[in-house]
Structure 1
């Protein structure tokens, strides 16, 4: 069974909840400053052209069939995080997101599995939002690399990590926006460079702060192959060895990457081989970022291009994800093209 763990759905009802709220205009201005006007225009056109693939189950299934994917793990578009929102609107928006994903997946329950959202900007609401997602049959939640004024190492998130570990919920770490701001406002560097940077920073906060020591059962999946961190593990381990102020975790940082999972969306066969070498074939899962332009329309072909052995291909193609998300390994029956 081929399982794609990185695919998105667009939920207009979430945007309707936050539109016009205090802070919304400021959020939009920040987004424009970070991305640049040209990138926003291109992105708007791209989303418009792919709207049916982001909202309609039938279009999603057709794409999956064309790519040879049996099951997708569907998460909200990261544009729905809205970590700027006050508690009331944030709570309502995230519940709408959870309900929207659940309803979308109900359109093809044998082929679609969902993840919800939690309001990271309000840690006191995060556990309740996670429980809400799980109560709807979702398998976990998608989170960004940080919230305003809070890194993932913030002690305020300890109850969320504890609850996720207790329930077995998957935490899908997918950045949205980069705090390098205007330095990346041209040539779509906000995504091309910013997303891998944010992945590396967020994972480093989780590792170096000892979150994974305190919560060893956490199920964390990092989008975009974990960004730059897996390719620079030597530097992380060296710093941990020589700098006493880097000893927030009990073991060398590379140890912890073998306790997490990473999607295969790295856009280069050599980088994918390196990722597998760094974290193990049992810790990599297939990812496409469907249906955005920075994703892959042929994730299975990209996996095969890495030249991995048959056992690794089977594990990454679906075996690891089936175990991680507690899915049956029976291949669901596809609709006729």
Structure 2
């Protein structure tokens, strides 16, 4: 069973509803995206999404693409554009519940081939457990997708403790996928908002989890980091040094590098050497095939990309599917 754990679903009907419910908020968010990304990147992204719209929305197009890639199963999560971190509490709760419903309906049409991940409103910590339960218990999804931060909420925020505890209790997958970067206009050209911003956000978010002791308190957490964990796995030595010499960096029990083997990562690193290094640092059981389907910053042929890394047969089999199968909550297969 070859499984791609990083594949997206676009929900245009959800976005239209959000725009109609809070047009001012949606317009302000769109202006922020223009400032962060720059007009050339937004225009290029618009063309790209138009060309790949069927794969993002149509089940038949998705399954045909999976067959062409040699992928038997996808974990389907919403496009990160559906996080809406600016939404007020009432709207954000409605968005998450509606997204969970739509994702569940999509994956149910291809039982055995698709596994769904829902959404929770990260900017409203008091509502996270409720929407996690809605996704996993109410809709039968394998877990939820979250961003690297939302407003003033970082992943080290004490208000997230009930969410981490509940996710660990349920055995739910938490898929960390950034959207947007707080560096703003510094990344508004050359597509730096994605090429630099996404791996930087991954590194910052994972560092919040590690240094704050979240992984000490919730060792059963099943957190999968998109984009191979960003910059953190390859520069973890600097984090270890800080932990040794800086008292404010010692809120976790052990050196930060020791926690890399307690997380999972996808293979969307775009470089065979980096993939081999990630496996060496995190362990062969912690790396999962991913593609970022069907966006242009993903891997159009994810299986071939992993095979080209020259991994031993047993590691290849683990990365291509065994690790993902082992990570799913008991009984969740659709």
State the Cα deviation string for residues 20-44 of structure 1 (Å, max 9, x = none). Answer: 4142211111111000001000001
Shift of 1:118: 0.2
Pick from 274, 287, 290 the counterpart of residue 290 of structure 2.
Answer: 287
Runs of 4+ in 1 over 6 A off after TM superposition: none
Q: Equivalences for 1:110-129 in 2 at 5 Å?
A: 110-129=112-131
Partner of 2:241: 238
* Residue aligned with 1:7, SS: strand
Partner of 2:31: 29
State the Cα deviation string for residues 229-271 of structure 1 (Å, max 9, x = none). Answer: 0000111111111111110100000111101100011000000
* Residue aligned with 2:235, SS: helix
Partner of 2:4: 4
Partner of 2:229: 226
Q: Distance in 2 between matches of 1:179 and 1:245?
A: 23
* Residue aligned with 2:262, SS: coil
Partner of 2:40: 38
1:194 aligns with 2:197: yes
1:109 aligns with 2:111: yes
Shift of 1:16: 2.1
* Residue aligned with 2:75, SS: strand
1:268 aligns with 2:271: yes
* Residue aligned with 1:72, SS: strand
Task: State which drifts further: 13-22 or 284-293.
Answer: 13-22
Q: Equivalences for 1:1-337 in 2 at 5 Å?
A: 1-20=1-20, 21=22, 22-134=24-136, 135-326=138-329
Q: Distance in 1 between matches of 2:330 and 2:168?
A: 18
Shift of 1:17: 2.5
Q: Distance in 2 between matches of 1:13 and 1:151?
A: 29
Instruction: Decide whether the 8 Å contact of 1:116 with 1:140 is kept in 2.
Output: yes
Task: State which drifts further: 19-28 or 172-181.
Answer: 19-28
Structure 2 residues without counterparts, runs of 5 or longer: none
Q: Distance in 2 between matches of 1:130 and 1:202?
A: 20
TM-score between the two structures when normalised by the length of structure 2: 0.97
Task: State which drifts further: 17-26 or 243-252.
Answer: 17-26
* Residue aligned with 1:115, SS: strand
Instruction: Decide whether the 8 Å contact of 1:13 with 1:96 is kept in 2.
Output: no
Q: Distance in 1 between matches of 2:14 and 2:90?
A: 13
Shift of 1:150: 1.4
Instruction: Decide whether the 8 Å contact of 1:94 with 1:117 is kept in 2.
Output: yes
Q: Distance in 2 between matches of 1:73 and 1:199?
A: 19
Q: Distance in 1 between matches of 2:237 and 2:309?
A: 23
RMSD over equivalenced CA pairs, Å: 1.5
TM-score between the two structures when normalised by the length of structure 1: 0.96
Shift of 1:297: 1.1
Shift of 1:145: 0.2
Task: State which drifts further: 176-185 or 236-245.
Answer: 236-245
Task: State which drifts further: 319-328 or 42-51.
Answer: 319-328
State the Cα deviation string for residues 171-227 of structure 1 (Å, max 9, x = none). Answer: 000000000000000011000000000000000000000000111100000000000
Corresponding pairs, count: 331
Instruction: Decide whether the 8 Å contact of 1:17 with 1:89 is kept in 2.
Output: no
Shift of 1:88: 1.2
Instruction: Decide whether the 8 Å contact of 2:171 with 2:329 is kept in 1.
Output: no
